[in-house]
Structures are given as structure tokens and as C-alpha cells.
Amino acid sequence: MVGQCEAREACGLVVDLINSKKMAGRGILLAGPPGTGKTALALSISLDLGDKVPFCPIVASEVYSAEIKKTEVLMENFRRAIGIRIKVKWLLENLLQLIKIRKSKKFMKEKLQS
């Protein structure tokens, strides 16, 4: 990423704080004019923190829409972030069960043939 040296340094400090568990359970708000790299910084923070941290970008016009309340939009995005982790965990658990079932069927088939 080119430019935004101070912002990149600050994001590095945030990642260090989160990894050292001194900033657990808190959110990060990146504010600034359009085109200044806020989304890129947020994505890099998410990638640095690993697979357990979902990245759900929110557009400001979505939050400040007159159709629904701001808190509803935020809660919907929190649920989406949590849902991503739940779906991945559910898929992995079911995949492991299928592998175990196939292995046991293959084992039983080999036992019956011998």
C-alpha cells in the first residue's frame, strides 16, 4: 500500500494490541474522506488477525439510510459476522462426520470381503 504511513503504523499498533489481548472485544472505527484507503486498512487488519476475524465492510449510506434504524443496520452486520464463523464451523464439523462415516463404511466393507 502506498501512502498513509501514519494510518498503517496505527493499524499495526491495533493489531499488536489485539494479539496481546489488551483490546479484545472492542471495535475499530476508521473515518476519513472517500478514497483514502479505509477499506484497504480494515482488510489488512482482518488478514493480519487471521481466519477467525471476519471482514464485513459497511457502507456509510447503508447506516444512514432513512429506511431502517442505525442500530438495526449495525446489529445485522454483527449477526452476519457471527454467522460467517458459525457456518464455517458447522461445515467443518459436518465434513469431519462424513469423512468418519466413509472411513468406517470402507473399513467394514474390507472386513466383510476378507
Digit-coded pLDDT (tens) for 86-95: 666 777 777 7
pLDDT for res 13: 93
Confidence of residue 16 (pLDDT cuts 50, 70, 90): very high
Domain boundary among 30, 52, 74: 52
Asked if residue 32 and residue 59 are part of one domain, the reply reads: no
Domain span at residue 86?
54-114
pLDDT for res 107: 63
Q: Is 84 helix (H, G, I), strand (E, B) or coil?
A: helix
How many domains, in total, are found in the chain? 2
Asked if residue 59 and residue 110 are part of one domain, the reply reads: yes
Place of cell 499498533: 13
Asked if residue 75 and residue 113 are part of one domain, the reply reads: yes
Check residue 54 and report its DSSP letter: -
Asked if residue 43 and residue 60 are part of one domain, the reply reads: no
Structure-model confidence comparison of residues 104 and 75, the more confident one = 75
All cell numbers assigned to 110? 474390507
What confidence tens digit (pLDDT) does each residue in 42-82 have? 889 988 988 777 777 777 787 787 688 888 888 888 777 77
Q: Are 54 and 81 in contact (CB under 8 A)?
A: yes
